[in-house]
Amino acid sequence: MAAVTLGPEGTYSHRATTAVADDGEIDFRQSVTAIVDAVDSGEYDRGVIPIENSIEGSVTESLDALAEYDVAVVREIVTPIRHALLAQGPEFDTVASHSQALAQCRSYLEREYPDATLEAVASTAQGVEFARDDPSVAGIGHPANAEDGVDLEVLAEDIQDQDSNATRFFAIAPAAERSTGGGKTSLVVYPNANYPGLLLELLEPFADRDINLTRVESRPSGQRLGDYVFHVDFEAGLYESRTQAAIADLEELAEKGWVKRLGSYDTEHVVE
Ligand SMILES: O=C(O)C(=O)Cc1ccccc1
């Protein structure tokens, strides 16, 4: 099974991928959209993308790609994230990492390195590569990134602003592989409408059937200001009759828009 995830080697997404696809080849892309595109086109049968972090919230590029492309979510992976500061030595003036990692360490960086320039790059492991090539750059990433190659020191560990820092990843597959099992479901709903009580009507089909929502997130539709797409996750399988009934209600509500079934899946907790 060939899988694709955010590279280069050593990203948190790579670590999550080995946890679910350790028996096959893993290739890398430099953005979430490129990963989703490669799975949508059938080039890979699995992809792994970060979705949401406990400190920084949604990875908006992931939500937007899930709304735009036609892929299935087949598994959710939850993993603790403990960041380290890696550099050739203490004399650096720039910290390069994924925007989420920089944000998850914002208080630490402001406190310890208030004058450093923060540079958002494609991934944590890419920031570490830059640090390996340049003594004026430090990276933030998993401490194991210091182990391969030369000249990198772990200057500090556990620099995330909350000890309990955790990230959810989705394993995705081509749409035809949407699974029939799994206890959680993700949908994307675009009502393409705006009237009093719309959001309430969107949530009622779940409340009426005793379905527990675990997340509701709105994203701009891109069509016009104030127009939204809603990402909804809940604790029920896609093919349960109560879910099918709730989706039928949503489809009525979204008659001018659409309802996308991302799929049903189980959660895997990966502990370092
Ligand atoms: O850049 C990475 O390593 C990623 O996989 C994205 C990310 C960044 C920070 C926390 C979790 C995932």
> Strand 117-120's sheet: what is its strand order?
117-120, 94-97, 137-141, 84-87, 153-157
* Straight-line distance from the first to the last Cα atom of the chain, in angstroms, rounded to the nearest whole number: 24
pLDDT of residue 268: 87
The CB of 167 under 6 Å from ligand 1? The reply is yes
The CB of 10 under 6 Å from ligand 1? The reply is no
Complex prediction ipTM: 0.97
Q: Is residue 140 part of a domain?
A: yes
The answer on 260 and 194 residing in a single domain is yes
Q: Is residue 271 part of a domain?
A: no
Q: Ligand 1 centroid vs 190 CA: distance in angstroms? A: 28
The answer on 153 and 89 residing in a single domain is yes
| Residues in a beta bridge with 53 | 57, 167
Write out the residue range of the structural domain in which residue 247 sits: 184-266
Q: Is residue 272 part of a domain?
A: no
Is the pTM higher than 0.90? yes
The answer on 171 and 70 residing in a single domain is yes
- Structural domains counted in the chain: 3
Mean pLDDT by 10 residues, the chain (272 residues): 94 93 88 98 96 95 98 96 96 97 97 98 97 97 86 94 95 91 96 95 98 97 94 96 98 97 92 69
CATH number, position 107? 3.40.190.10
- Identify the residue whose C-alpha is closest to ligand 1 atom 7: 12
The CB of 246 under 6 Å from ligand 1? The reply is no
The answer on 171 and 46 residing in a single domain is yes
The answer on 171 and 56 residing in a single domain is yes
